Amino acid sequence: MSSAARAEAAEASGAFSDRDQQREACDLGMWVFLTTETLFFGVLFFGYLMARLRFPEAFAAAGRHTDFALGTINTAVLLTSSLAMALAVRAAAIRRRRWAVLLLGATLTLGVAFLVIKGFEYRAEYLQHLVPGADFRFDAAQRDAAQLFFWLYFVMTGIHAIHLAIGIVVIGVVAARLAFGGFALQSPLSVEMAGLYWHFVDVVWIFIYPCLYLIARS
Amino acid sequence: MTLWSWLSTHDHKRIALLYAISITAFFFIGGAAATLMRIELATPAGDVVSAETYNKLFTMHGVIMVWFFLIPSIPATLGNFLVPLMIGARDLAFPRLNLTSWYLYVAGGLFTLAALLLGGVDTGWTFYTPFSTLYSNTHVIAVVTGVFIAGFSSILTGLNFIVTIHKLRAPGLTWFRLPLFIWAHYATSVILVLATPVLAMTLTLLGIERLFHVGIFDPALGGDPLLFQHLFWFYSHPAVYIMILPAMGIVSEIIACFSRNPVFGYRSMAYAIIAIAGIGFLVWGHHMFVSGQAVYAGMIFSLLSFVVAIPSAIKVFNWTATLYKGTISFEAPMLYALGFVGLFMFGGLSGLFLAALALDVHLTDTYFVVAHFHYIMVGGSVSAYLGGIHFWWPKITGRMYPPKWAQFAAVLLFLGFNFTFFPQYLLGVEGMPRRYHEYAPEFQTLHVLSSAGAVILAIGYLLPLVYLTWSLTRGRKASANPWGATGLEWTVPSPPPVENFGETPIVTQEPYAYPPHAVSGGARRAAST
């Protein structure tokens, strides 16, 4: 084994014999994980589909009670964060550390902004008695089905928000390690993996948004 | 060799042993619940435990055996140990994730055990709504949380295997040179990764619904309890294949080795594994024939369930054909493997009875169903698991066990199993419903037979525990390849060194290159020229 090959083998960790293999394995691993996540969210969309097919009018009526403006702003915020993330992945790939850290910071900030806006939305819905339970108030004829809609609304956006919060933590760690340790501590590969996850969470929102906010507003 | 070096290990072989110890503990806990049930059922009157306790016993038995024994049994122990060795890799692709998986398994297990000890749960392992969400007064949320956590351990194991098998195969080890054990684990991993998240989310929704008394499974709001059943079985039917496919992988290795023949129809065996895994995703509705799902849905699910029998039958035929003109020796692993083929065939054929729409109306929720899935999961999976343990024990521990005792235990297990579960087919046909702690007196003879068989079965399980533990210190030292088997795992010392292979092996041979025999014409002529 030449000294260069030995150095490369040492750089690749664990079971891998070189960095290419490690890269390919991490890539595949992440995509398998995202497939799992797709099925995880798939249950929610399936449940939504079944309920909505059963109660189309009530779902439309309830859908009009979601906050269209905040939901749309949040969509824009999240898409912008995805742009920042994509640029951060590129910056890391060409080893521009400062840019990568800055762009990861922007992604993180936009992610937090999304959660804050979502928090205000939840607060307004709580005040309007739209949280399912004994306190739920809605037009009597459609009360039960509307409650199902809002149950799905809170579960879907809530589980999405948990995923987003995890993404924020991951990006924070990656950004900090990159800022203080450079590429020796944090390889471009980890930025790319964090990016894949972040884009996935965004894509989920792209499906949630029309289901919950746009259904009665066409 | 400190305890911490084990608890912080990234070595797939050690993690496999951690799993082996933990699943064995859970197996005996689940077995204890079954023992109490069989004692109760010895007499028609409900005199040993109350109805409520009995409900908790069968729930505990089901939850523990399914999620804390059967699902991780072969993949997380033998699979963990052997997948890297069989493909010539130093470790799994993500060793830290592998250890995380074990910790998640233990956390989920402790959660479940705590809930069961604090008073248990009485929903059955299926957690059907609305009983589990509205009416049950037991620790549903805690148990569901435990299963949820354990689910992530399955997902991580599956993910690790998929990436490892794709990316870490030794040079020359093409897909169609892989041992069938690897094919089986690949298919199993795909199921783990695709089905488990559905269970996880379904249980999450169940938990939220139970906590807040609102949810999409609640019929009072217009929600749908059947939706729960669909989602639950979308996971839980493929889960049956998580249990049986790795078992099939083990049996292929053992039968080839002890008949000294290459596996007959190797490619069709690999395709059959993939077919079973694929079609297995489309048959969940056969658990719901009497639930009120659409009759046309029932017909399609019935048809597809019959279709799964085809690749399964291909496997049975090919195992039998592998024996043909082989030099067969009846070592303990072989006895387990042959037992598997018989019991799997029996369990599989009785599955066809249940897949038939009209017949299922009579048999559903009777002991026939209980007998059917125990033939597959216990007769099939557990026999294969023990066969695999006996086959690779010398490799894993570097010691041989007393062969006569092992053969005796294998035969005892086979007899005890049939003695326990065959009467349950008859009980089911006669109409004895499952999950009852008392019954009409005319069923007693068969129940007593079944309980007596369970005693033999229990001895069959305890014996290996004793002599295998004995062999750890007293057993004869094992050579690298005591069975004369093919496969990369047999080319390294027993037990294998930490890095597995000193140098990455290069594979030039087809799998199961056992020496040609008597009249295996073509191969022999090729060899002599």
What are the tens digits of pLDDT across the range B2-13?
A: 899 999 999 999
Domain boundaries, position A57: 41-214
Helix (H, G, I), strand (E, B) or coil at B477: strand
Instruction: Judge whether A36 and B197 are in contact, CB under 8 Å.
Output: yes
Chain B residue closest to A41 (CA)? B201
Kindly state whether residue A166 falls inside one of the protein's structural domains. yes
Tell me how far the alpha carbon of residue B154 is from its chain's centroid: 13
The answer to whether residue A99 neighbours chain B at the CB level (below 8 Å) is: no
Instruction: Judge whether A139 and A146 are in contact, CB under 8 Å.
Output: yes
How many residues belong to chain B?
A: 529
pLDDT given for residue A184 in this prediction: 78
DSSP assigned state of B399: B
The span from the CA of B108 to the CA of B86, in Å, is: 30
Look up the pTM and report it. 0.94
Chain A residue closest to B194 (CA)? A36
Per-residue pLDDT of chain B (529 residues; tens, 9 = 90+): 689 999 999 999 999 999 999 999 999 999 999 999 999 999 999 999 999 999 999 999 999 999 999 999 999 999 999 999 999 999 999 999 999 999 999 999 999 999 988 999 999 999 999 999 988 989 999 999 999 999 999 999 999 999 999 999 999 999 999 999 999 999 999 999 999 999 999 999 999 999 998 899 988 888 899 999 999 999 999 999 999 999 999 999 999 999 999 999 999 999 999 999 999 999 999 999 999 889 999 999 999 999 999 999 999 999 999 999 999 999 999 999 999 999 999 999 999 999 999 999 999 999 999 999 999 999 999 999 999 999 999 999 999 999 999 999 999 999 999 999 999 999 999 999 999 999 999 999 999 999 999 999 999 999 999 999 999 999 999 999 999 999 999 999 999 999 999 899 999 989 999 976 433 433 433 333 3
Q: Which of B95, B158, B216 sits opposite A151 (nearest CB)?
A: B216
Kindly state whether residue A171 falls inside one of the protein's structural domains. yes
- From A32, A31, A22, A200, select the one nearest B190 (Cα to Cα): A32
Instruction: Judge whether B330 and B407 are in contact, CB under 8 Å.
Output: yes
SS3 content of chain B, % helix, strand, coil (to 5): 75, 0, 25
- Residue A110 sits at φ, ψ, to 5 deg, of -65, -35
pLDDT given for residue B296 in this prediction: 94
Chain B residue closest to A24 (CA)? B167
Burial of A60 (0-12, 13-18, 19+ CB in 10 A): middle
Tell me how far the alpha carbon of residue B165 is from its chain's centroid: 20
The span from the CA of B410 to the CA of A8, in Å, is: 50
Q: With CB atoms and an 8 Å threshold, state whether B167 touches A24.
A: yes
pLDDT given for residue A8 in this prediction: 46
The span from the CA of B186 to the CA of B392, in Å, is: 20
Instruction: Judge whether B251 and B385 are in contact, CB under 8 Å.
Output: no
The answer to whether residue B226 neighbours chain A at the CB level (below 8 Å) is: no
Q: Which helix (H) or strand (E) holds B114?
A: helix B95-117
Kindly state whether residue A29 falls inside one of the protein's structural domains. no
Instruction: Judge whether A157 and A207 are in contact, CB under 8 Å.
Output: no
The span from the CA of B195 to the CA of B239, in Å, is: 8
The span from the CA of B141 to the CA of B146, in Å, is: 9
Q: With CB atoms and an 8 Å threshold, state whether B205 touches A47.
A: yes
Contacts of B317 (CB under 8 A, 6+ apart): none
Q: ipTM, 2 decimals?
A: 0.92
The span from the CA of A42 to the CA of A207, in Å, is: 11
Please report, in angstroms and rounded to a whole number, the separation of the first and last CA atoms in chain A. 65
Kindly state whether residue A13 falls inside one of the protein's structural domains. no
Q: Which helix (H) or strand (E) holds A117?
A: helix A97-127
The answer to whether residue A54 neighbours chain B at the CB level (below 8 Å) is: yes
Per-residue pLDDT of chain A (218 residues; tens, 9 = 90+): 445 444 444 445 567 878 888 899 999 999 999 999 999 999 999 999 999 999 999 999 999 999 999 999 999 999 999 999 999 999 999 999 999 999 999 999 999 999 999 999 999 999 999 999 888 999 989 999 999 999 999 999 999 999 999 999 999 999 999 999 888 777 889 999 999 999 999 999 999 999 999 987 86
Tell me how far the alpha carbon of residue A22 is from its chain's centroid: 25
Kindly state whether residue A31 falls inside one of the protein's structural domains. no
- From B179, B286, B177, select the one nearest B229 (Cα to Cα): B286
Tell me how far the alpha carbon of residue B433 is from its chain's centroid: 25
Kindly state whether residue A56 falls inside one of the protein's structural domains. yes
Instruction: Judge whether B215 and B133 are in contact, CB under 8 Å.
Output: yes
Contacts of A17 (CB under 8 A, 6+ apart): A9, B504
The span from the CA of B179 to the CA of B176, in Å, is: 8
Burial of B520 (0-12, 13-18, 19+ CB in 10 A): middle
The span from the CA of B123 to the CA of B116, in Å, is: 12
Buried b (16+ CB within 10 A) or exposed e, A119-156: eebbeebeeeebbbeeebebeeebebbbbbbbbbbbbb
DSSP assigned state of B441: G
Provide the CATH number for the domain around residue A198.
Answer: 1.20.120.80
Kindly state whether residue A18 falls inside one of the protein's structural domains. no
User: Considering its fold, how many domains does chain A have in total?
Assistant: 1
Q: With CB atoms and an 8 Å threshold, state whether B91 touches A144.
A: no
Domains in chain B and their CATH numbers? 7-512 (1.20.210.10)
- From A59, A38, A86, A79, select the one nearest A195 (Cα to Cα): A86
Contacts of B276 (CB under 8 A, 6+ apart): B187, B241, B245, B308, B311, B312
Instruction: Judge whether B214 and B148 are in contact, CB under 8 Å.
Output: no
∠B435-B436-B438 over CA atoms, to 5°? 155
- From B418, B393, B380, select the one nearest B78 (Cα to Cα): B393
The answer to whether residue A53 neighbours chain B at the CB level (below 8 Å) is: no
- From B88, B76, B70, B221, select the one nearest B147 (Cα to Cα): B70
Q: Which residues pair with B366 in a beta bridge?
A: B433
At position B46, the amino acid (one-letter code) is G
DSSP string, B123-190: STTTT-TTIIIII--S-HHHHHHHHHHHHHHHHHHHHHHHHHHHH-PPTT--GGGS-HHHHHHHHHHH
- Mutation choice for B interface testing from A43, A157, A197 by most B CBs within 10 A: A43
| Structure tokens given for A46 | 């399936």
- Residue B433 sits at φ, ψ, to 5 deg, of -75, 155
- Mutation choice for B interface testing from A39, A41, A163, A193 by most B CBs within 10 A: A39
Tokens 């030099």 correspond to what residue? B327
Kindly state whether residue A45 falls inside one of the protein's structural domains. yes
